[in-house]
Amino acid sequence: MPQLGNKIGFIGAGNMGEAMISAILRFGVAAPSQIFIREIRHDQAETLKNKYGIASLIDNTDIVRTCDTVVFAVKPQSLEKVLSELQLKKAFHDISGRKLIISIAAGKRMALFENFIYSDLAEHQKRRIPILRIMPNTPALVGAGVSGLCANIHANSTDIETARQILLPMGKVFECEEKDMDAVTAMSGSGPAYCFYIVESMVKAGMEIGFPEATAADLTISTFKGAIALLEQLQESPENLRRAVTSPGGTTEAAIRVFDENRVKDSIILAIQAAAHRSKELSQ
């Protein structure tokens, strides 16, 4: 993957911020000399500096003025305070080139950034500061994530491609409109937790029918890996693959019957709908 040539700054460098930095460097999207962070926890900032050879700046305004791309990776509850401080310091004034703003703050709409960043800028200044929002998920920590990506009206195709190059080392990128981000949050953002919940249940079942925990976990995780590999390689629908395993009167049919009697599929659908609804509530 070719280097972008951009300076990339991170306001906040916790788990997801570090995951992005690690992936960017591992895939050669940027060199350590092109990565800058502002992290309020001094020990975390020092750890990342020493681990990756990147620079730590003392103020969020320095990140904005130094970097071509600014990633807001602070906790959602801290975001308005950070944006308000940047607005008071007029951090986005006197920007001559193009400045790409990327947010990974869950549930925070691009309008929030526009309200603070664009509030007293002229139209030609706004056009130079496109804002993009992404929704990564935790498998991004191991390069197997899914990130939803949407952009505001000032983002052009080059801006979106830059964001994609930053995100691709963490996994797949799904482009959408912001109205779809609540659904993305419910499906892939929260989705790993649903998978862990099912694995947790299968491990517990394995223990109850006689296996040690380690064996039950190995059987469950290996089974999930194999099932996903089968889905990817055969490109059959999950329903067809399930039916192929479910012989009439057999063991699988006995299990599926219990799932159906307890409306497991309906419960999963309702759970994801509830997550999407909650995401919409939180983002208002």
Domain ranges for the chain? 8-177, 191-283
d(CA 172, CA 257): 35
Pick the closest to residue 9 from 87, 86, 69 (CA basis): 69
Residue 2: what pLDDT?
56
Residue 1: what pLDDT?
57
- Positions of the chain with pLDDT under 70: 1-3
Query: CATH says 8-177 is which class?
Result: alpha beta
Residue 13: what pLDDT?
93
Q: 252-269: string of b/e by CB count within 10 Å (b at 16+)?
A: eeeebeeeeeeeeeeeee
Residue 277: what pLDDT?
93
Question: C-alpha distances in angstroms, 224 versus 198, 218, 227, 231, 246?
Answer: 10, 10, 5, 11, 17
Residue 284: what pLDDT?
76
d(CA 277, CA 115): 24
Find the helix or strand (DSSP H, E) in which 276 lies. Answer: helix 264-283
Tens digits of residue pLDDT in 215-273: 999 999 999 999 999 999 999 999 999 999 999 999 999 999 999 999 999 999 999 99
d(CA 64, CA 101): 9
Token output for 243: 């039916």
Tens digits of residue pLDDT in 190-211: 999 999 999 999 999 999 999 9
Look up tokens 């509830």; give the residue: 274
Residue 3: what pLDDT?
62
Residue 168: what pLDDT?
95
Domain 191-283 sits in CATH at 1.10.3730.10
